[in-house]
Structure 1
Amino acid sequence: MALSTSLPPGSTSRRASFAVVLAIELWERFGYYGMQAVLLLFMVQHLGVEDSQANLLMGAFAAMTYALPALGGWLGDRILGSRRAMLLGAMALTGGYALLAVATTRPALLTVAMAVIATANGLFKPNAANLVRRIYQGDDAELDAAFTLYYMAVNVGSTVSTLLMPWLQERFGPATAFAACAAGVFLGLCFYALRRSQVASIGSAPDFRPVPVARYGTILLGAAATIGGLSLLLQHGPLARDAVWLAGALVLLCWAAMYRRAAPADRPGLRLAYMLSIQGMSYFVFYQQMTTSLTLFALRAVRDEFKLGGVTLFSLSAGQFQAFNPIWIMLASPVLAWIYRRLAQAGRDLSIAQKFTVGFALVTVAFVIWWLAALAGGTGRVTPWVMVLAYAALSVGELLVGGLGLAVIARYVPASISAFMMGSYFLAVGVAMYVGSMMANLAAAGRTAATSGAMEGAGLYAGLFLRLAEAAGGITVLFALLLPLARTWDRQHAAAHPGA
């Protein structure tokens, strides 16, 4: 079978292939975001872990979860093929979430389960995204729209799970919630099995040749060693921190090596990809607050009842507030996709660098809202409507920055290294998320004072939210100053690849 690197624009086969990848990604996100909605609360409320320790454990876990795709992308490109790697990752994720359910009665298995999930995500994430890139290869306008809609559709799964899993945890215990995450990914695998023929012609080169059994054995041994090493790192915070910094340094070295070996025609695109990747990575310092400081803020400083005119409309628990992120993404994604198409038709399409700048301006607005609310709340609790408004700004910012991070790789990086580059982008995101957890501890560090009565309620988080707002505002100004350089490199890339 010949390798298919693209499908005809508007074709039924293109839409069918995209739908299959989209479905398994949706169920994978159902499992991951459901787990994420309850994991921190499980550690703090059921295991008695201190805020600061739980934040850093979540940060190290996130860093590992996003770092491993660099290796998974290479395996997809060179050894297994993107489709095979994606499927193996989904199967391992099912096992990882099931192991978390077991860890609720055997806490010693907690870090092992987290290590399995991180390793499995390394196989799944870059290769699923690479299949989307191959489906829409050569059509930049449709590619941006596809990645935006991809980002929207997978949030259907995350919305349902973020609302469902905290409810299951409260009603039936954390084991039930984690088991439901495993069941979701298994359903995604079942759907793929039924429709696998629709992606049979899409993949990277190794997908179209057999893999020796011995090589599978080597990969399984490597995966077991990786899981063991990650579990050890998660148990020892300083080791995890050093590993995160080392991984970030290795990515920079790999980028330098790829640039040195790249053809002159590819270098402007690589320069732009590197700059935009670093910009996109920066967003996830702020994104990590959703699972750390903002979840603890909701737990300790936000009222759970949504009232209008004195009438209670509904209530949410601390973990369920995270659902506002995917809800706003679903609402805003079709609008943004429509705007992208209209601007492109009028010849006034915004560059990715411009979208990033606008996105960070919205991130700034979000943390200004949280800062003002925390100041006003003082020692009491704030209205939950603040979370609705601030999450709206943060989530649209995510669409403009985080949602287009993969489109940067797809547009500017040569196909031969695209999966590895996608993986290295996720690793950079992981480093940023660890930094985000460190920043979250600016509030968690005051927890002892809070419990003694020196400080409590919303005011505990005001200093953190102010620093985050200041950082986001500074980054917005920096991005705006870099726009002329981004335009120059984009023109150089377009001139070197006129048919791309």
Structure 2
Amino acid sequence: MATVMQGGGVPPHAKTFFGHPRGLYLLFFAELWERFSYYGMRAILVFYLTKHLLFTEQPAYAVYGAYTSMVYITPILGGWIADRYLGARKAVLAGGVLITIGHLLIALVEGPVGVHGTALEGFYAGLAFIIVGTGFLKANISVLVGQLYRRDDLRRDGAFSIFYMGINTGAFAGPIVVGVLGETVGWSWGFGAAGIGMALGLVAFVLGRPALHGVGAPPSVERLAGRSPVGLSREWAIYAGALVCVAVSWWLVRSQGVVGTALVLAALVTIGYILWTAVVKLPREDRDRIFAALFLIALCPLFWALFEQTGSSLNVYTDQQVDRTILGWTIPATVFQSVNPFFIITLAPLFGALWVKLARAGREPSAPFKFGIGLILIGAGFFVLNWGAPAQGLTPAIFVILLYMLHSIGELCFSPVGLSSMTRLSIPQMTGLMMGTWFLSTAAGNFLAGLIAQATGGEGAGPAQVLEVYARCGWFAIAIGIVVLLLARPVTKLMHLDTLGRDVDHAMAGDAVLAEPAAAGLDTRGEQTSRR
């Protein structure tokens, strides 16, 4: 049976493709189809609510914010379950099954225009399946990418940039296929296409699993097969519990205000537990790394609150206030959701190569410095839109495209860097939890995104009010970004990059020692690897 090296990563003899383990491309393909389904459905979600179920804009934004935040809350629980019981591989598989059910359920329950009842409740149930499924899948598939490499492997950032390109290939195709089908053929066709995309990702993951060389296995097969208090094996008890979580999520997505309270409670409990563990159980260097990771996590809500206007207020602004006519053909507004992933696809390889080249030259910016740049760019994007919007008439589409370009460059300085940082700075026993906490902060950003979208005014508000809200948010993001740049050096020192590859005791008090020997002859590069 395939085994993983003690220090992490696939065995040295494992076959590679363009310098990376083949398992990376399996995860690339599986995540491509999962993101196809998610971003395709996200592109038509607000339009389905406003144009088919006839919600007004502000309630539609509230549902959008609740849903998109909850898909990032559940990875906390999914990461913890994978760390302790399932392992990342089984968690990803279970999540894919639930997501497929959710998309197909929404496609099957569509009712007449404006009629709620069963159609609306089925829609909420479909969202609930997707929420819980994403909890199992989202954090853990990123963990699998990290486990393919040693913590001090030079290829890690490049690997996450390649993986992120897979995410955005799916995100590029999803809004075009799902959006055009949903807007022009029928909503059920769009949602159905999203479900088929997730099913394809499942098939790829199952058939290509040997390429992972054993990474992501359950931490204890015996514990997983053991009897649970409800009489089932622990594995099947987890799956049964997932269905209970679907019912809870169904209620929460119908009661959007409760989601904000749940976010606050989840953040207090999770961050409190991590801080307690770091202070009480971890040696100094691992503790400092956890503190550095938490600093990066704290910046997520602001970034994603602004970035996620894409699927809500910016989507509606594009539909209502942007000139989308080219050569006599009016481009569906959902197609503009593909502009951001297009830039990610084209720029991600360049950024991946750039980080590696700068690292080898000893000049790569630190992870906090990259985060500061990302925040400045997200703010600058809104100023471009304000600058290009005329006093009267429609905004030329080029300015929306320029906004997406700046936001995409900012995203490349933020999201893949953050994903890699969580797997590098956390200890083995907490990797899934830290990745889940990263997504919890993203959830907070998505919930705040819904509130910002509602602040743009909804019905009766003109484009001037939308642009005024965007301008205020842009200034705030730029100011915070400058502060982060000033703090980058002291935060980088907390990462202790000069000892990342050494043989250190990563065990928590009372746990078995999980030592990670340094790679022979490999310089850990200090400031050069500050991105993680």
How high is the TM-score relative to the length of structure 2? 0.87
Return the alpha-carbon distance in structure 1 between the equivalents of residues 12 and 408 of structure 2: 30
Return the alpha-carbon distance in structure 2 between the equivalents of residues 185 and 263 of structure 1: 42
Amino acid at match of 1:157: G
Return the alpha-carbon distance in structure 2 between the equivalents of residues 478 and 393 of structure 1: 20
For the 8 Å contact 2:27–2:163, the answer to whether it is kept is no
3-state SS of 2:278 partner: helix
- After superposition, the C-alpha distances for 1:171-229 in whole angstroms (9 at most, x for unaligned) are 32111111111111111122223222222421144376663552233213311221111
Return the alpha-carbon distance in structure 2 between the equivalents of residues 37 and 399 of structure 1: 21
Q: Is residue 10 of structure 2 the alignment partner of residue 7 of structure 1?
A: yes
CA RMSD in angstroms, aligned pairs only: 2.0
Q: Is residue 484 of structure 2 the alignment partner of residue 479 of structure 1?
A: yes
Deviation (angstroms), 1:127: 1.0
For the 8 Å contact 2:380–2:474, the answer to whether it is kept is yes
Q: 1:467 aligns with which of 469, 472, 482?
A: 472
CA pair 133-208 structure 1, distance change in 2 beyond 3 A: farther
What runs of 5+ residues in structure 1 fail to find an aligned partner?
307-311, 451-455
Q: Is residue 438 of structure 2 the alignment partner of residue 425 of structure 1?
A: yes
Q: Is residue 387 of structure 2 the alignment partner of residue 372 of structure 1?
A: yes
> Which piece of structure 1 moves more, 120-129 or 314-323?
314-323
In the other structure, the counterpart of 1:453 is none
Return the alpha-carbon distance in structure 1 between the equivalents of residues 126 and 435 of structure 2: 25
Deviation (angstroms), 1:314: 5.9
Q: 2:316 aligns with which of 282, 288, 296?
A: 296
Q: Is residue 348 of structure 2 the alignment partner of residue 344 of structure 1?
A: no
> Which piece of structure 1 moves more, 389-398 or 229-238?
229-238
For the 8 Å contact 1:289–1:436, the answer to whether it is kept is yes
> Which piece of structure 1 moves more, 194-203 or 116-125?
194-203
What are the within-5 Å matches in structure 2 for residues 275-286 of structure 1? 275-286=295-306
In the other structure, the counterpart of 1:221 is 240
CA pair 132-216 structure 1, distance change in 2 beyond 3 A: same
Q: Is residue 396 of structure 2 the alignment partner of residue 383 of structure 1?
A: yes
- After superposition, the C-alpha distances for 1:283-327 in whole angstroms (9 at most, x for unaligned) are 111121111111011111111124xxxxx2864211111111100
Amino acid at match of 1:284: W
For the 8 Å contact 1:70–1:426, the answer to whether it is kept is yes
> Which piece of structure 1 moves more, 358-367 or 319-328?
358-367
For the 8 Å contact 2:291–2:494, the answer to whether it is kept is yes
What are the within-5 Å matches in structure 2 for residues 148-297 of structure 1? 148-206=161-219, 211-212=225-226, 214-260=233-279, 261-297=281-317
3-state SS of 1:219 partner: helix
Q: Is residue 457 of structure 2 the alignment partner of residue 437 of structure 1?
A: no
In the other structure, the counterpart of 1:112 is 125
3-state SS of 1:162 partner: helix
CA pair 204-220 structure 1, distance change in 2 beyond 3 A: closer
Q: 2:50 aligns with which of 44, 50, 65?
A: 44
What runs of 5+ residues in structure 2 fail to find an aligned partner?
112-118, 227-231, 503-517, 519-523, 525-532
Amino acid at match of 2:491: A
Q: 1:494 aligns with which of 487, 495, 498?
A: 498
Return the alpha-carbon distance in structure 2 between the equivalents of residues 183 and 6 of structure 1: 32
> Which piece of structure 1 moves more, 176-185 or 264-273?
264-273
Return the alpha-carbon distance in structure 2 between the equivalents of residues 219 and 316 of structure 1: 45
Return the alpha-carbon distance in structure 1 between the equivalents of residues 465 and 302 of structure 2: 25
**Percent of counterpart pairs with the same letter?**
26
Deviation (angstroms), 1:495: 3.9
3-state SS of 2:396 partner: coil
Q: 2:149 aligns with which of 106, 125, 136?
A: 136
In the other structure, the counterpart of 2:374 is 359
For the 8 Å contact 1:3–1:201, the answer to whether it is kept is yes
For the 8 Å contact 2:151–2:501, the answer to whether it is kept is no
Deviation (angstroms), 1:9: 6.3
For the 8 Å contact 2:30–2:202, the answer to whether it is kept is yes
Q: 2:34 aligns with which of 21, 28, 38?
A: 28
For the 8 Å contact 2:300–2:445, the answer to whether it is kept is no
Return the alpha-carbon distance in structure 1 between the equivalents of residues 27 and 11 of structure 2: 17
For the 8 Å contact 1:84–1:207, the answer to whether it is kept is no
In the other structure, the counterpart of 1:322 is 337
Return the alpha-carbon distance in structure 1 between the equivalents of residues 37 and 251 of structure 2: 24
Deviation (angstroms), 1:10: 9.1
Return the alpha-carbon distance in structure 2 between the equivalents of residues 300 and 9 of structure 1: 55
3-state SS of 1:141 partner: coil
Return the alpha-carbon distance in structure 2 between the equivalents of residues 496 and 178 of structure 1: 45
Return the alpha-carbon distance in structure 2 between the equivalents of residues 8 and 119 of structure 1: 33
Deviation (angstroms), 1:151: 0.6
Amino acid at match of 1:262: L
3-state SS of 2:219 partner: helix
For the 8 Å contact 1:329–1:395, the answer to whether it is kept is yes
- After superposition, the C-alpha distances for 1:39-93 in whole angstroms (9 at most, x for unaligned) are 1110011111111111111111111100100100111111111100000100111
How high is the TM-score relative to the length of structure 1? 0.92
In the other structure, the counterpart of 2:512 is none
Return the alpha-carbon distance in structure 1 between the equivalents of residues 379 and 259 of structure 2: 30
For the 8 Å contact 2:151–2:500, the answer to whether it is kept is no
Deviation (angstroms), 1:15: 2.1
CA pair 27-60 structure 1, distance change in 2 beyond 3 A: same
Amino acid at match of 2:383: V
For the 8 Å contact 1:66–1:427, the answer to whether it is kept is yes
For the 8 Å contact 2:31–2:166, the answer to whether it is kept is no
For the 8 Å contact 1:6–1:134, the answer to whether it is kept is yes
Return the alpha-carbon distance in structure 2 between the equivalents of residues 434 and 140 of structure 1: 35
CA pair 442-9 structure 1, distance change in 2 beyond 3 A: farther
Amino acid at match of 1:484: R
In the other structure, the counterpart of 1:64 is 70
Deviation (angstroms), 1:240: 2.2
For the 8 Å contact 1:3–1:205, the answer to whether it is kept is no
Deviation (angstroms), 1:474: 1.3
